[in-house]
Amino acid sequence: MTDNSRDAYAGRLAAIRAILADPVWSGWSDRAIAEQIGTSRRSVGRARQRAGLPPCVTRLCSRLGVTYAIDVSYAIERRLPLPS
């Protein structure tokens, strides 16, 4: 790893930690957080797990201009694949 890539990794990790510390942003899915930061959803999931935070159990959906939350705790409990 070069110094630039270490700095970039440290910066992304700091951004993940800052977002997960925020009560509103921490409710976002790992994928949504990863898209905002430019990292993988697995990196966000690992950071969430290391911080002792529970997995996000709601997903925001938008259809026909209406945004609503969906409870996906059933998929997490049964380890079903989550819809994309």
Instruction: Give the tens place of pLDDT for each residue, 42-80.
Output: 998 889 888 887 777 667 777 888 887 777 666 555 555
**Exposure of 58 in the CB half-sphere (CA atoms within 13 A):** 11
The share of the chain scoring above pLDDT 90, in percent, equals 0
d(CA 20, CA 29): 11
Please name the amino acid found at residue 51: A
Check if the beta carbon of residue 47 is closer than 8 Å to that of residue 33.
no
Q: What is the DSSP letter of 38?
A: T
Q: pTM of the predicted model, to two decimals?
A: 0.63
Radius of gyration of the chain (CA): 14
Domain borders along the chain are: 3-78
